[in-house]
Every structure is written in structure tokens, then in C-alpha cells.
């Protein structure tokens, strides 16, 4: 009989007596993620930079909202449910239940240690934008773009101090465990809800009448030299943008890429969150209230606000073409009131940071059980501080594409393994399970194809080597979902033909 690796042998399930209801664990943890302003602020652009004129509202509101609903359903049922059910039924984290898909040795790296490292990247993103908002509100020197958006530059001393303090505090709460993360996230997610409602009330009138949604350029007429200069700059920007979306399917696809790509790691982390849950009802209700509904309602409100702001002619000339409700807040509410709400949004981002820290802590504890968590997490937090302070995580759109490509096949293979085992955990497998790793490699290649082609199209040598490279920029439809389907299908196929390693004895894990 093969010997269990140390991190598997040391794993102990969460006792049933220590489990808590969905409204204390799953719901607040996921609401902190899906109500994070960094998520919903770019739904109007679909994450495209530069984005087409009018962004995802090119064909009015219904296609964008329908795409948002489809994306939320995919996140809940395809990416979240299987890992969460595995976590709940076993009481074990992702890095343990994932060994049935990737093997006892392979699970140490995928989704184990890699997932933990990635969470510190998310923590850095959170810290960068929170510090950026606070610096912007208090005039602490953060550079702004001509459209009012926060630039991913090296912001300076105050930004670094705020970002570092934010990372340290979030890492500390994450180390305290899910109960503390749940406490932090119980009420703070109400802040973005209130902010979105206030913005919605102030822009609602712009959704009616002949200008709905008037988000096209040009919509200003210059009356002086200064306005004419702005007009000419905006005109040049408008004509340099990608072609306008012309079909509903384009918009639905963009929304799915953006939302699913953002959510992919959080879906796999459902095992870590739900291992503290009591039963399958907690998993279902927690997912609906923490993932599906917040995604649809907050995302829908964000789109309404943008359309209403343009329809009400609230957007000044220098911000025309900006579809970010956070950037538009000063012109909707006035600078002083907007600053108050921006500070509140920065505070509300803290539960999401704690969520990332908690997942990272679980990863390091389970994959490196002999290393003091204060050392491993401390080093990870230090790395997050460096990334936030230097500003290298200031542009996060590309991250969504990579995350979707990385964890689409992970969630697909885990769902396949879960269903093939009869809706339960099949147990760890020896070594590196080929079915899991092959399905991930191929799935990642498919999911990252568009991203890599877009990246390589900027390199002269690549264009010389592949003259028609630009023709394949959008070759793979909805990459995160396609990567999921490939991971699922390949795992099933390889398992059926016997390309799976044998199971290990579960006694050391389940005793």
C-alpha cells in the first residue's frame, strides 16, 4: 500500500460540531467577493481596454443583463457546486479533495500551492485599488488618467503605507479562520449595496426617454477653446477604439468571459468555504445568496447606473467614453458626497481581502504542514505588499483571462470526478493522476489561446513567423467556459479509457 504524503496524512476534517449555517459562512464570504467594487466597476466595458463605443451597452440594457444572468448561473452551478459539495461532505479543503483529480503528489501543486500563491496576487490587487481610492479621495498624489480613472503607476509613499497596512490586517484576519472572515463580511457587504442604490436612484431618470442609453460619442458640442481641445482628444480616442458590438451574442459572450474569468478561483475555493457547512442545503442556499443573486443584482445596478448617467447628461466632456460607475460618482453625486461613498467602498473591500488571505492560509497549512504559518503567510503577504506598492497589479483585466484559463479546466475536471464517483469524494489517487493533468494542460491551452494570440500579436517576430496571427485573436469562443468544457470532457474520456492512477487508503485522512 502506498504511503500518504505528509500533508495528506496531517489533514483532519472539520468536526460536525464546529460547522455553521450558510448565513455565517458561505453567504458573507462570497458576498464580500461578488460585491467588490473592482468586480462590478468594469462590467460596462466587459474588461476590454480599450473598449468599443458604448461598451456592453451597445445594444441597450437587455443583452448585457441577460449575459450577466447566464454568467452568474455558470459560476454557481458549474464552477462552485462540485468543490463546495466535496468540501461540505468531507470537511476537507480544496487542496485535499483535489487529490482525487490530480493525485496525491500532483495535488500539492494543482490546485494546492499554486492556488495559495495566486490568492496573494488577489490580495495585492485589492490593496492597490483600496489605497488608490483613499489617495484619490484625500488628494494624496495618486496619478489620474485624462478620463479620471486611476492609473496603474507607482503611486507614492501614502499609497504604499495604506496598501501595506491593508495587506497585513487582511492576512491576520485570514489566519484567524473562516469564522472571523464571516464576522468581518457579515455587515460590510451592505456598503456597496447602499452605494449602488444611491447611485441608481440618482441616475434612474436617465433610463427613460429618447436618450436611453445615450452612451455614444460625440455627445458634446464645444463652445470654447478648452472644450474644443477636449472634444478633439475624445474624438481621436473614439475612432481608435475597437468596432462597436453589433450582436447580442457578442455582448453575452463578453459578459461571460469577464464574470466567469473573475470568479473561477473563488468557485474552486468553494471547498474551503463549504467545509465549514452543515449540509447540502447550506451549500445550495449559501451559493444562491452569496454568488448568484449578488452577481446579478450588483452587476445589473452597475450597468443601469452607467446608462442612466449618460442618459441624464450627467457625464462631463472629459469623462465621455468612461463607463466605470466608480469614476462617474463625482459627476453623479458631487465631489464631497462621492468621496464619502468612495471611502465606504474602500472599507467594504476588506472582506474580499480576508477571503483571499483565508484561502492562502489554508493552502500553505495543508501543503506545507511543517512550516510555521506565520512564516509562509508572512512571506506571501510581503510579496503582496511589494506588488501593490509598485503598482504592477494596477491593471487586472488580463488577470481575469489567465484565471479563467487556469481554473476553468480545474473546475471542469473536479465536476467530472465528482459525478463519476456518484456525487461524493472518490479519495486521493497515487502520484500525478494523468487524467487530471492532461485535461488541465489541454484545457489551459484552449482557455489561454486568445490571450496568448493577443499578446504575441504585439511582437514583431511573432507576426513575422505567423503572418495571419491577428486573424485568430478571438478564435476560441468564451475561453473560460470553453476551458471548463474541455477539462470536463477530457477527464471523463481519459477516466473511461483507464488513464487514472489507483486510489490510496483513506484511513489516515478520514480517521
Is there a contact between 234 and 218 (Cβ–Cβ < 8 Å)?
A: yes
Describe the chain by its helix, strand, coil percentages, rounded to 5. Answer: 70, 0, 30
Q: Of 402, 399, 396, which is closest to residue 449 (Cα–Cα)? A: 402
Which residue's C-alpha cell is 447628461?
313
Distance between first and last Cα of the chain: 17
Q: How far apart are CA 376 and CA 470, in angstroms?
A: 43
DSSP string computed for 69-106: HHHHHHIIIIIIHHHHHHHHHH---HHHHTHHHH-TTG
Predicted pLDDT at 416: 97
Q: How far is CA 123 from CA 110, 129, 217, in A?
A: 20, 10, 36
Q: Cell triple for residue 402?
A: 489567465
Q: How far apart are CA 437 and CA 428, in angstroms?
A: 14
Helices and strands counted in the chain (H then E) = 26, 0
Q: How far apart are CA 237 and CA 216, in angstroms?
A: 12
Helix axes 26-34, 178-187, angle to 10 degrees: 60
Angle at 118 between CA 190 and CA 273, to 5 degrees: 50
- Number of neighbours of residue 49 by Cβ within 10 angstroms: 12
Q: Cell triple for residue 381?
A: 503577504
Per-residue pLDDT of the chain (511 residues), as tens digits, is 457 777 787 788 999 999 999 998 899 889 878 998 989 998 998 888 778 888 899 888 899 999 999 999 999 999 999 999 999 999 998 888 999 999 998 888 888 787 888 888 888 989 998 998 888 888 776 544 444 444 444 457 888 899 999 999 888 887 776 555 556 556 777 899 999 999 999 999 888 755 555 555 445 555 666 666 766 676 677 667 787 788 999 999 999 999 999 999 999 989 989 999 999 999 999 999 999 999 999 999 999 999 999 888 888 877 878 899 998 999 999 999 999 999 999 988 887 788 788 878 877 776 777 788 788 888 889 999 998 888 877 766 677 888 889 999 999 999 999 999 999 999 999 999 999 999 999 999 999 998 899 888 888 888 888 888 878 888 899 999 999 999 999 999 999 999 999 998 766 444 4
Predicted pLDDT at 189: 76
Predicted pLDDT at 147: 42
Q: Cell triple for residue 401?
A: 483571462
Predicted pLDDT at 144: 44
Is there a contact between 115 and 264 (Cβ–Cβ < 8 Å)?
A: no
What region, left, alpha or beta, does residue 150 occupy, with left being phi > 0 and alpha being psi -120 to 50 degrees?
Answer: beta
> Hey, where are the domains in the chain?
6-396
Angle at 299 between CA 447 and CA 261, to 5 degrees: 15
Predicted pLDDT at 361: 80
Is there a contact between 144 and 150 (Cβ–Cβ < 8 Å)?
A: yes
Predicted pLDDT at 306: 92
Coil, strand, or helix at residue 277? strand
Q: Which CATH class is domain 6-396?
A: mainly alpha
Predicted pLDDT at 210: 55
Coil, strand, or helix at residue 506? coil
Angle at 111 between CA 107 and CA 116, to 5 degrees: 115
Work out the widest C-alpha separation in the chain, in whole angstroms.
83
The number of angstroms, rounded, from the C-alpha of 358 to the middle of its chain's C-alpha atoms is: 16
Helix axes 350-367, 335-348, angle to 10 degrees: 20
Q: Cell triple for residue 280?
A: 447540502
Cis peptide before 213 (omega within 30 of 0): yes
Radius of gyration of the chain (CA): 23
Predicted pLDDT at 26: 92
Q: How far apart are CA 361 and CA 94, in angstroms?
A: 12
Predicted pLDDT at 511: 41
Predicted pLDDT at 334: 93
Q: Of 439, 437, 436, which is closest to residue 447 (Cα–Cα)? A: 439
Amino acid at each position: 500500500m502506498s504511503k500518504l504524503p505528509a500533508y495528506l496524512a496531517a489533514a483532519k476534517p472539520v468536526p460536525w460540531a464546529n460547522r455553521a449555517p450558510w448565513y455565517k459562512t458561505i453567504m458573507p464570504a462570497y458576498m464580500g467577493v461578488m460585491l467588490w467594487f473592482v468586480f462590478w466597476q468594469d462590467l460596462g466595458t466587459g474588461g476590454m481596454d480599450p473598449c468599443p463605443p458604448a461598451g456592453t451597452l451597445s445594444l441597450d440594457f437587455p443583452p448585457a443583463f441577460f449575459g450577466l444572468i447566464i454568467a452568474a448561473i455558470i459560476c454557481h452551478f458549474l464552477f462552485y457546486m462540485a468543490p463546495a459539495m466535496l468540501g461540505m461532505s468531507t470537511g476537507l479543503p480544496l487542496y485535499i479533495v483535489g487529490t482525487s483529480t490530480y493525485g496525491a503528489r500532483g495535488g500539492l501543486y494543482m490546485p494546492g500551492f499554486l492556488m495559495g500563491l495566486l490568492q496573494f496576487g488577489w490580495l495585492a490587487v485589492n490593496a492597490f485599488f483600496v489605497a488608490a481610492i483613499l489617495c484619490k479621495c484625500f488628494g494624496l498624489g495618486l496619478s489620474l488618467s485624462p478620463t479620471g480613472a486611476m492609473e496603474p503607476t507607482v503611486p507614492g509613499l501614502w499609497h504604499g503605507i495604506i496598501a501595506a497596512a491593508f495587506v497585513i490586517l487582511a492576512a491576520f484576519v485570514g489566519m484567524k479562520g473562516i469564522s472571523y472572515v464571516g464576522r468581518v463580511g457579515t455587515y460590510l457587504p451592505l456598503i456597496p449595496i447602499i452605494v449602488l442604490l444611491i447611485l441608481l436612484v440618482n441616475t434612474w431618470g436617465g433610463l427613460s426617454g429618447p436618450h436611453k442609453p445615450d452612451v455614444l460619442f460625440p455627445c458634446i458640442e464645444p463652445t470654447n477653446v478648452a472644450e474644443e481641445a477636449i472634444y478633439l482628444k475624445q474624438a481621436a480616442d473614439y475612432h481608435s477604439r475597437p468596432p462597436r458590438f453589433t450582436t447580442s451574442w457578442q455582448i453575452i459572450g463578453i459578459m461571460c468571459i469577464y464574470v466567469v474569468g473573475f470568479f473561477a478561483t473563488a468557485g474552486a475555493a468553494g471547498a474551503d468555504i463549504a467545509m465549514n457547512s452543515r449540509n447540502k442545503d447550506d451549500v445550495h442556499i449559501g451559493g444562491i445568496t452569496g454568488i448568484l443573486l449578488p452577481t446579478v443584482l450588483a452587476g445589473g445596478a452597475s450597468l443601469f447606473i452607467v446608462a442612466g448617467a449618460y442618459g441624464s447628461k450627467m457625464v462631463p466632456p472629459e469623462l465621455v467614453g468612461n463607463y466605470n460607475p466608480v469614476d462617474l460618482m463625482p459627476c453623479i453625486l458631487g465631489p464631497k458626497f462621492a468621496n464619502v461613498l468612495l471611502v465606504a467602498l474602500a472599507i467594504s473591500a476588506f472582506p474580499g481581502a480576508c477571503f483571499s488571505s483565508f484561502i492562502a492560509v489554508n493552502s500553505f497549512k495543508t501543503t506545507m504542514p511543517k512550516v510555521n504559518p506565520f512564516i509562509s503567510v508572512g512571506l506571501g503577504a510581503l510579496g503582496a505588499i511589494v506588488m501593490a506598492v509598485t503598482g504592477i497589479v494596477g491593471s487586472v483585466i488580463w488577470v481575469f483571462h489567465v484565471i479563467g484559463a487556469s481554473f476553468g479546466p480545474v473546475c471542469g475536471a473536479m465536476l467530472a470526478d465528482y459525478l463519476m464517483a456518484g456525487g461524493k469524494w472518490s479519495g486521493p489517487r497515487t502520484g500525478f493522476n494523468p487524467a487530471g493533468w492532461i485535461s488541465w494542460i489541454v484545457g489551459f491551452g484552449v482557455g489561454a489561446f486568445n490571450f496568448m494570440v493577443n499578446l504575441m500579436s504585439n511582437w514583431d517576430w511573432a507576426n513575422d513567423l505567423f503572418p495571419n496571427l491577428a486573424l485568430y485573436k478571438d478564435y476560441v469562443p468564451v475561453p473560460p467556459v470553453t476551458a471548463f468544457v474541455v477539462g470536463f470532457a477530457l477527464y471523463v474520456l481519459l477516466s473511461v479509457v483507464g488513464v487514472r492512477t489507483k486510489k490510496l487508503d483513506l484511513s489516515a485522512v478520514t480517521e
